[in-house]
Structure 1
Amino acid sequence: MTAGVVVRESRVAIAVAGACPVCRSPGSQPFLSVDGRDYRRCETCAARFLYRRQLPSRDAEYAHYLHHENHPDDPGYRRFLTKLAVPLLARLAPASRGLDYGCGPGPALAAMLRMAGHEMAFYDPFFRPDPKPLEVTYDFVTCTETAEHFHRPAEEFDRLMALVRPGGWLAIMTCFQTDDARFQDWHYRKDPTHVVFYREETLRHLAAARGWHCEVPVKDVALMQRPSDHGGMK
């Protein structure tokens, strides 16, 4: 069987009732119903996710994002982003080239990385939808507070990982789901555009399935490194 056939078949698996939209495993189970929303959990990668039929419309998503107040010059927001920026910068070569994927209307993280001497490109399906930045590869790709919004996370991670050059880094920041007993009242779940929730083990599983190295330097941050051409890591 060719690689192309495998990819097509794995994508078809997402359409199967109960299939995990994160790792494409068929092994998911009903998890919780709350506030009129129904969630499942994956027995393979441990993700929790909203039933596909209940995903918000694109218009509803966009209207909600317009109320976000993540200003690039806000010192508090910048401090929040250092959680990812500091460990990532420690792993990058000088003058690396990166992509801020899901940058939103005010790409604060990209501004911070530029100040550190790195070249940045931007992509956001709502605020910077030009697909040209997705046609090349990068030394690193950042995805902060974005993965929880993915309606097709398996396909998004395929795209993100394809954007990283051999030896490069994919940096993910999302609030890890850790306690099922608190899921119902968790503030992160109550955002109507948050539809998929990852555990540390979820992201480690996604990396391992592709032969990538995964580090979790702090809670809510995963740094995945693509193997270099000669099979090792940087």
Structure 2
Amino acid sequence: MTECCPLCGSPDPRFFHRDRRREYLRCDNCELAFVSPKDYVSSAEELAYYQQHENQPDDPGYRRFLSRLADPLCERLAAQSVGMDFGCGPGPALAAMLTEAGHCMSLYDHFFFDDPAVLQGSYDFITATEVVEHLHRPGDVLERLWRLLLPGGYLAVMTKLVQSQEAFARWHYIRDPTHVCFFSRQTWTWWADCHHARVDFVGADVILLQKDLGSAEAKVPV
């Protein structure tokens, strides 16, 4: 069976890197680097790995980390905006921070807050911090989230970015067995162009995608 890019669906990705555990491919169309499904860990192993994390909502260090996304996002949001924290994990610190900033938050996480009704809403913004690198089908998921955004809304992403093939080989980010998709600036620029979105790169790992004010797509059924 021909391997296809999980973001854009293009066939025949090229070899990018191999380590002791996995092989990494890269798409020539959208430039996503990714792991073949044959090298995914099981759902149970993935959950067990997440349960080792100790990210508490009141942890000052964790809040400083999340502020790299929260601060520039809040600068762009109207007062009392409605948002969803996608992939919030068991301790939704970012949602707490945005609630404290005066916004109304909903939570969704496949493992910890699996509420399908949340994926039927309409939002001024959606956050996904340290999430997209875990997605097995990033093209489908990002498309669904995008369609939940109101015109002018923001998809705010935090993920480390691929710099070069040489740096990738030494990168700590690929050592996490639950990380299977690796984006670059070129990947996000491609995605924004496809969706007529504005993209802002903030610092090293925050990507803010704004939906066109004229957009009015129908929601994707769950």
TM score, norm. by length of structure 1: 0.89
Kindly indicate whether residue 131 of structure 2 is the aligned counterpart of residue 156 of structure 1: no
Q: Deviations over 1:30-67 (max 9, x none)?
A: 11111120110111221110012111111110010000
The CA RMSD measured in Å over matched residues stands at: 1.4
Counterpart of 1:47?
A: 32
In the TM superposition, what is the alpha-carbon distance from 1:27 to its structure 2 partner?
5.1
**Structure of greater relative contact order (alpha carbons < 8 Å, 6+ residues apart):** 2
Kindly indicate whether residue 47 of structure 2 is the aligned counterpart of residue 62 of structure 1: yes
Counterpart of 1:174?
A: 159
Name which of 174, 189, 197 aligns with 1:212: 197
AA in 1 matched with 2:158: M
Counterpart of 1:201?
A: 186
Unpaired runs of 5+ in structure 2? 217-222
Show the 5 A alignment for 1:1-234. Answer: 17-26=2-11, 28-229=13-214
Which stretch shows the higher mean deviation, 52-61 or 147-156? 52-61
Q: Quick one: distance in 1 between partners of 2:22 and 2:81?
A: 42
Q: Deviations over 1:133-172 (max 9, x none)?
A: 1111100000000000000111111111011111111001
Residues 230 and 199 of structure 1, relative CA distance in 2, 3 Å threshold: closer
Counterpart of 1:10?
A: none
- 1:83 is paired with a residue whose SS is helix
Unpaired runs of 5+ in structure 1? 1-15
- The answer to whether the Cα contact below 8 Å between 2:151 and 2:215 also exists between their aligned partners in 1 is no
AA in 2 matched with 1:38: E
- The answer to whether the Cα contact below 8 Å between 1:27 and 1:44 also exists between their aligned partners in 2 is no
Q: Quick one: distance in 1 between partners of 2:32 and 2:166?
A: 15
AA in 1 matched with 2:23: D
Q: Quick one: distance in 2 between partners of 1:93 and 1:140?
A: 10
Q: Deviations over 1:163-221 (max 9, x none)?
A: 11111110010011113213233111000100110101111211111111111122211
TM score, norm. by length of structure 2: 0.93
- 2:154 is paired with a residue whose SS is strand
**Between the two proteins, what is the percent identity of the paired residues?**
46
